[in-house]
Amino acid sequence: MRAAGCVLWRRSACGTVELALVFRPKWSDWSWPKGKVKKGETARAAALREVQEETGHTCRLGPALPTLRYVDNAGRDKEVAYWAAESTGGTFAPNDEVTALLWLPPAEAHARLTHPRDKELITPALAAIGSDRRAGD
């Protein structure tokens, strides 16, 4: 199964980076916003759509992050393409798939993420944010 998602980030009022985590009650986990790539859809388009659907935020894709490959909760092989993505605004509203959104500093996000594989994306995401010339705009 192909999926796509983002390590969604923003600058706090004091200028520090905050990362967005979503809570999915179906799996009882905290993770990055992500979801299946639809037929005929690019992974980039899927990542943008999933962020909007799960967080209520629009975003600007930055650098690609490592692709994660694993067996999902249903026993299927899954490949998830990720990007660092800066929030360009929006408002979260709970829905059937995602009931909570948290904006956390990287260390707190690391502690809150449920799956070790998701934690592995924090370091490359922070490196990507730092290398994105537009990150401070």
For the segment 35-50, the average pLDDT, to the nearest whole number, is 98
Per-position b or e across 49-82, b if 16+ CB within 10 A of its CB? ebbeebbbbebeebeebeebeeeeeeeeebebbb
Q: Report pLDDT digits (tens) over 83-107.
A: 999 999 999 999 999 999 999 999 9
Number of domains in the chain: 1
User: Residue 57's domain is classified under what CATH number?
Assistant: 3.90.79.10
Evaluate if residue 136 carries a pLDDT over 90: no
Whether 137 is in a domain gets the answer no
Share of the chain above pLDDT 90, in %: 92
Rounded to two decimals, the pTM is 0.93
Range of the domain at 106: 2-131
Whether 136 is in a domain gets the answer no
Look over the chain and give the mean of its residue pLDDT values, rounded to a whole number: 94
Evaluate if residue 110 carries a pLDDT over 70: yes
